[in-house]
Amino acid sequence: MTDTTYDHSARSDSLLDVSELTVFHGQLCAVDQVSFHVNAGEVLAIIGANGAGKSTLLRTIAGLHKPSSGRISYKGEEISKLAAHRRVRKGISLVPEGRRLFASLSLEENLQVGAQNAAPGPFNIGYVYDLFDWMHERRNQKVRQFSGGEQQAVAIARALVANPQVLLLDEVSLGLAPIVIERIYEFIPNIVTQGIGVVLVEQDVTQGLQVATRVHCLLEGRTSLVGTPQELSPSAIERAYFGSDVTHGPAAQEGHV
């Protein structure tokens, strides 16, 4: 499927099903009739330029913004009106843009906060110490002493100890060096094989395409393209990302299409 059509038939097998979701900030329609689903074991990349509505979409799924219309279903249950902390308990975790860690607390204290509303499941603090092998020996250090990449890993670890089945990642690569980004993304194959569905937001399209099973592009709040990384051409992605009247954006010249 390389256009923007969406099959609205029942998807009882999908973990997360978003249907015609519309979200306003005041007068501004930030997300406009967006639909997608995520199955267990899948990584859906939401791509789009600044202000396209990516964070609003993830935050609405997490329960931090109220949609004006549309449905969010999780394992077949409508959750659109559920409070954010109850969504966490059911297994939906967000790694927010900008990390939002407790800088004056230690690494382990941050993880303990993440575990407070945990759903039942395999991930605990010991598990994430295995997943990110440097963490255990630095568990008592304050998070403010960590590098940007390390803090991003702590933010991901904090979301994982809540035992998500749907993990929402908002720009985890932002501001990090390529080698650090590579290391940050290494954990994804490990967790999706355990039946987790991942929705990741990326402005860096190359990065998004590398890890995604499917790609969903937003342009000014609307779906402009959906498909698999294999079937979407760079020029189609570029048009969907920047809008049809822009053919050679600066990011394209840097290989970011």
Ligand X SMILES: Nc1ncnc2c1ncn2[C@@H]1O[C@H](COP(=O)(O)OP(=O)(O)OP(=O)(O)O)[C@@H](O)[C@H]1O
* Contacts to ligand X by CB under 6 A: 25, 28, 30, 48, 50-56, 97, 203
The sign of the torsion formed by the CA atoms of 88, 93, 98, 104 equals positive
State the nearest-atom distance from the C-beta of 29 to ligand X, in Å. 9
Instruction: Give the neighbor-by-neighbor strand order of the sheet with 222-227.
Output: 92-95, 166-170, 197-202, 43-47, 214-219, 222-227
d(CA 95, CA 85): 14
Give the one entry of Mg ion, ligand X, none that residue 51 binds, where binding means its C-beta sits below a cut-off of 5 to 8 angstroms depending on kind.
ligand X
CA dist list (Å): 92 to 24, 105, 121, 240: 22, 24, 12, 28
State the nearest-atom distance from the C-beta of 54 to Mg ion, in Å. 5
Q: 94, 170 in Cβ contact below 8 A?
A: yes
- Select 166 or 219, whichever has its Cβ closest to ligand X: 219
Which string of DSSP letters, residue by residue, matches 99-165? ----TTSBHHHHHHHHHTTPPSSS--HHHHHHHSTTTGGGTTSBGGGS-HHHHHHHHHHHHHTT--S
State the nearest-atom distance from the C-beta of 246 to Mg ion, in Å. 20
Give the one entry of Mg ion, ligand X, none that residue 50 binds, where binding means its C-beta sits below a cut-off of 5 to 8 angstroms depending on kind.
ligand X
Binding mask 83-102 for Mg ion (x = CB under 5 A): --------------x-----
Give the one entry of ligand X, Mg ion, none that residue 56 binds, where binding means its C-beta sits below a cut-off of 5 to 8 angstroms depending on kind.
ligand X
Q: Which residue has the tokens 């698999």?
A: 228
Give the one entry of ligand X, Mg ion, none that residue 165 binds, where binding means its C-beta sits below a cut-off of 5 to 8 angstroms depending on kind.
none
Q: Quote the tokens at residue 240.
A: 């969907």
Stretch that binds Mg ion, among 15-23, 55-63, 100-108, 113-121 (CB under 5 A): 55-63
60 lines the binding site for Mg ion (CB under 5 A): no
State the nearest-atom distance from the C-beta of 141 to Mg ion, in Å. 29
Give the one entry of ligand X, Mg ion, none that residue 148 binds, where binding means its C-beta sits below a cut-off of 5 to 8 angstroms depending on kind.
none
State the nearest-atom distance from the C-beta of 93 to ligand X, in Å. 18
Q: Which of 14, 19, 35, 55 binds Mg ion (CB under 5 A)?
A: 55
Residues 6+ apart with CB under 8 A from 67: 21, 22, 23, 31, 60, 80
d(CA 53, CA 98): 16
- Select 16 or 30, whichever has its Cβ closest to Mg ion: 30
- Select 71 or 222, whichever has its Cβ closest to ligand X: 222
State the nearest-atom distance from the C-beta of 116 to Mg ion, in Å. 25
Please give the residue whose beta carbon sits closest to Mg ion in the complex: 55
Give the one entry of ligand X, Mg ion, none that residue 96 binds, where binding means its C-beta sits below a cut-off of 5 to 8 angstroms depending on kind.
none
Question: Which residues of this chain interact with Mg ion, rule CB under 5 A?
Answer: 54-55, 97
